[in-house]
Structure 1
Amino acid sequence: MSGEIISTRQRLINAAMELFSAQGITETTTKAVAELAKVNEVTLFRQFGNKQGLLLAVIFESPVFKELGESLKTQASQTASVYQALKDYCEERITALEQVPELVRSLVGEAGKYPVENRQALGRSLTQANHYVAEYLATVMEREQLQTQLPAQKLASLLNSMLLGYAVIELTSEFHELWHDRDEFLENLVALFLQVAPKSANQVNNESIPIEKVIDLPANLVHSILQRAKKSGLRDYALMYVLFGSGLSSEEMVNLERSQQINDANQHLLQITQGAIRQVPVNQWIMGKRYGSYIRNPLTQWLKSRKDDHSALFLNDDGMPISEGEIQEHWRILTQGLLTPEGQQPIIEQAQQTWCVEMLMKGMNLEDLSIITGWSRTKLQPYARRAREKSALEQAIRLDNKPQ
């Protein structure tokens, strides 16, 4: 049965890719996709929700994004130098973009016609890809003891923008004479990044290095998200509870299995077996509010409600292991209309940032947090800075409330 579901999903994605490429995304209807895939249109809606969900699946499962995170982790551990790391990444991404030229042209050429949902879907895909690349760059640069004038996230944004710009120009124009060939472009791009971005540690001396901004979410906003999730259903409530209560990324969550949950009256842990192998706590207290106990909370209630024998900790509406894209879509829906103090809709990465800052605020030191998160102390420095900022603010408020 599961093979049949996977086959149906893949046929729909293949059909959508074919039609999007041939006639454009705007002109392609869900009915046409279903007919080409030889399934009922209702099946398409059951699998993807709507056309926007289908587009998101096509983007995530295209060669540009598919398995990007895992491939970059492998590259980061095997590549001998920053130069080779950058060149390998750039070469692979350009090759992937060149495999879907019609889709690239359609995404760019029709962008002005898309409803906001389509543009949001593309934006989320690019953001997720950028997150992977930032992790990749940070890993390689830390290994070679390089400091940067810009944080890894900003470097990744610039690099991806240049690669996407190259693909758009190459696939939509002729005789531009901006570069001789792809090899020349890659050589110049990598040389530019190595010249203006990184510095070796012994060159830094006492220069101040900008710290990557951590934007954690305030307690009332976190509570609102969890309350919305509670009303949405046990699965959504459990998803948000694990995001805010354990500090895991969506990538780590999709790999969790039931057997990796360890709980009793005194603790609730999750065993992480992908990436940095470790155990993480699932906290019953989140931003000053208690969400059940170690043995009875949103996650244990979700698992208790299930009637299936599937090993995955989280399932989608079709009873299959949930994907990163689906977790991000649930987050988008649950946070729609909510605004951060900066006036933006919360993004899923802020749940992990909020958890890290909260752990530091509660007294955890950087060494212990490094063990729990699998991150380096260098990566955690901005979180320590943010925790100190919040502590200083709390102290100022206490002083203001102190009787004169």
Structure 2
Amino acid sequence: MSTPRKSTKARLIEAALDLFAERGVTETTTKAVAERAQVNEVTLFRNFGNKYRLLLAVIEDSAVFAKLVHALVEQANAKDSVAEFLQEYAQKSLLTLEKAPDLVRSIVGESGNYPIENRLALGKGLSEANRYVAEYLEEAIAKEGLDSSLTPEQIVNLLNFVLMGYFVVQSSCEGYNLWDEEDDFLASLVTLFLHGFTTSASALEVSETSIVKVEPPEAVDLPASLVRSLFRQARKTGRQEFALVYVLFGAGLSPEEALRLERSHSVVEPQQNILQINYGKVRQVPINHWIMGYRYGSSSINPLTQWLKSRKDNRAEIFIDDAGEAMTRVELENTWQKLTTDLLTPQGEPPAIEQARQTWCIEMLMRGIDLEDLSILSGMEIQQLKYYAQKARNKSALEAAARLDQKKSKP
């Protein structure tokens, strides 16, 4: 049987893709595309109107990004580790880019001249491609027991930006070689994404810039009596201090997330006071009214809403210093230190501000929330929360034993 002849549109799209890859978008003429497709130029204009409409059809109809990325990921996903996955994906990406340097340079350098629909199509294609790679990367990270403060999509975006920058410089410049061999560049790239941009021993610096092994956190929640004493001290100190402690223990925020809260981020609903978190992992978190057995107001009347109503300034930030400026981490630590003076944990140490979040996580687990929902609310990975789940089970076992002990034994 003879092969069905392709439609005129399909032949024009195929010819355009080939010529864009060979010459770039600017140097490719509509006449050349028509000749390659074996039609006259009038037919091209009748079907697409102009060259940029033809480029739009190439981007949309050929699914060039999806086909390219699917092929790359299928090869990279066969690797056994995240490091090998990243190495293979980066290497295959560069090889693919090198097959059509003029097309890549045209898209990067000339997209500002394209109509808005072309730029939207480019953005959509790249976004879909990145999401596809991110799904595979997320599976690989979970399988290997790794963690990162960046989402898989953020990691893939950064990786692709670096690869594109390297390719453009290497293909456009002479005498600019930071790496002797491409393999050296790829090895450096994988090291960068696995171990971060700095060799500092600071856990904070590493966790914010790299994929790291999940180490068991020291899940030391605070006892209810200590938390109650801390709340009493905060109430006596001032409305802002009371609101701060309420947010830390009621919503389980990290200090950095609390400091970046703004007035508009506090949403009062009939049954809940919800916080919109825009720092780190974007999410919404309800503030608990009941904390460690005590009720602190309602959705509309609580330490946070009372603090905001008492404010006379126009600052957007929820927590401010004495000068009316946004509170810094150092000022937050100083406030916490003053509130916890004379308070000691069962381990004989002053309470750390990070323990407020640990206490919230364990309390939520004891109330019955599952790990997936807690991960959504906390912005933390399920793998990390498993350590808190173990501590919650230990506490539940102690409470169950206490209840049994209170029952009268039968004679």
TM-score normalised to the size of structure 2?
Answer: 0.52
Deviation at 1:374, TM superposition (A): 1.2
CA distance 1:330–1:281, change in 2 (3 Å): same
3-state SS of 2:276 partner: strand
- Deviation of 1:84 after TM superposition, in Å, equals 5.4
Structure 1 gap ranges (5+): 1-71, 94-125, 142-147, 153-210
The one-letter code sitting in structure 2 at the alignment partner of 1:245 is G
2:328 is aligned with 1:219: no
Q: Does 1:89 align with 2:198?
A: yes
**Aligned partners of 2:197 and 2:209 also within 8 Å:** no
Alpha-carbon distance in 1 for matches of 2:395, 2:196: 40
1:191-340 pair list within 5 angstroms: 211-340=216-345
SS of residue in 1 equivalent to 2:343:
coil
Within the alignment, does 1:133 sit opposite 2:206 as a pair? yes
Gap change, CA 1:235 and 1:135, over 3 Å in 2: same
Aligned to 1:4: none
**Per-residue Cα deviation, 1:317-366 (whole angstroms, up to 9, x for no partner):** 11011112211111111112210001110000000000000000111000
Partner of 2:365: 360
Paired with 1:132 and 1:370, the residues of 2 have a C-alpha distance of 22
Tell me the distance in 2 between the aligned counterparts of 1:379 and 1:355: 14
Aligned equivalents of 1:299 and 1:83: distance in 2? Answer: 41
Which letter does structure 1 place at the counterpart of 2:203? N
1:264, distance to aligned residue in structure 2 (A): 3.0
In structure 2, how many angstroms separate the alpha carbons of the residues matched to 1:398 and 1:270? 36
Cα gap change, 1:216 to 1:88, in 2 (>3 Å): same
Residue 402 of structure 1, aligned match among 391, 403, 407: 407
Cα distance in 2 for partners of 1:252, 1:300 equals 18
Residue 352 of structure 2 is matched in structure 1 by: 347
Displacement of 1:88: 2.9
Q: CA deviation at 1:278?
A: 0.4
1:388 paired with 2:393, answer yes
Partner residue, 1:183? none
CA contact (8 A) 2:268 2:300 kept: yes
RMSD: 2.3
How far apart in 2 are the matches of 1:282 and 1:74? 25
- Measure, in 1, the Cα distance between the counterparts of 2:259 and 2:304: 14
Displacement of 1:134 in angstroms is: 4.5
Counterparts of residues 139-218 of structure 1 (less than 5 Å): 140-141=211-212, 152=215, 211-218=216-223
Mapping 1:48-63, distance limit 5 Å: none
Q: Which of the pair has more CA radius of gyration?
A: 2
TM-score, normalising length from structure 1?
Answer: 0.53
Residue 281 of structure 1, CA deviation: 0.7
Query: Which amino acid in structure 2 is aligned with residue 386 of structure 1?
Result: K
> Displacement of 1:135 after TM fit?
5.8
After superposition, the Cα gap between the structure-2 partners of 1:224 and 1:132, relative to the gap in structure 1 and judged at 3 Å, is: farther
Q: List per-residue Cα deviations over 1:103-153 (Å, max 9, x = no partner).
A: xxxxxxxxxxxxxxxxxxxxxxx9xx534535655xx13xxxxxx5xx53x
Note the residue ranges of structure 2 that are not aligned, 5 or more in a row.
Answer: 1-148, 160-188
Hey, what's the Cα distance between the residues in 2 that align with 1:363 and 1:267? 18
Instruction: Give the share of equivalent positions with the same residue, in percent.
Output: 47
- 2:217·2:384 contact (CA, 8 Å) conserved in 1? no
1:273-305 CA-partner distances (Å, limit 9, x unpaired): 121110001111100000111111111110011
Matched to 2:217, the amino acid is: E
CA distance in 1, matches of 2:267, 2:392: 29
Moved more, 317-326 or 344-353: 317-326
| CA-CA distance at 1:212 after TM superposition | 3.2
Q: How does 1:60-79 map to 2 (within 5 A)?
A: 77=155, 78=158
